Amino acid sequence: MEPRDPELKKELDATLQARRELGAEYESALIESFLEKIEQRLDSTTDRRVRRRLAEQQMVVARGARSPGPAEGFGERFGFGVISLILAIPLSTIAAVQTGFKGLVVCWLGIVAVNTVHAARQWPWRPRGRRETSDWEN
């Protein structure tokens, strides 16, 4: 089996050779040195991957496509529903106190309409408009 990183293999061979020549009293220092080299290699690989992923996301955003991620999924719909229900409590109270039962009905029809419009954005059969991204994504 061929090593994935020939340079790291050379470093390991050199560390083992130094261990043989210097003896057991330098073993911990040699091991620490080798582990530090591995850590540096991992850090550089991770940095390179993160930079590549960020560049890919910036390219997607620059092209005007939707930003990748699960933001449009269940979480967004659930959050919107919870917020609308929380806001419905004071709105219902105000409507019922000011105008009675008719105002309460109108208030809840408005809440249902807002949630329906929000949910309609997710429907696959809706006609596609010129703009598919929301203003919140910019």
- pLDDT at residue 137, as a whole number: 42
Dihedral pair phi/psi, residue 137, rounded to 5°: -80, -15
Half-sphere exposure of 69 (CA within 13 A, CB side): 12
Q: How many CB atoms lie within 10 A of CB 107?
A: 19
The CA radius of gyration of the chain, in Å to the nearest whole number, is 30
- pLDDT at residue 109, as a whole number: 92
**All structural domains of the chain with their residue ranges:** 6-62, 70-132
**Per-residue pLDDT of the chain in tens (138 residues, 90 and over written 9):** 555 778 888 888 898 898 888 888 888 888 888 888 888 888 888 889 999 999 988 888 888 755 444 445 677 777 888 888 888 888 888 888 888 899 889 999 998 988 888 877 766 555 555 444 443 343
Amino acid making up residue 116: T
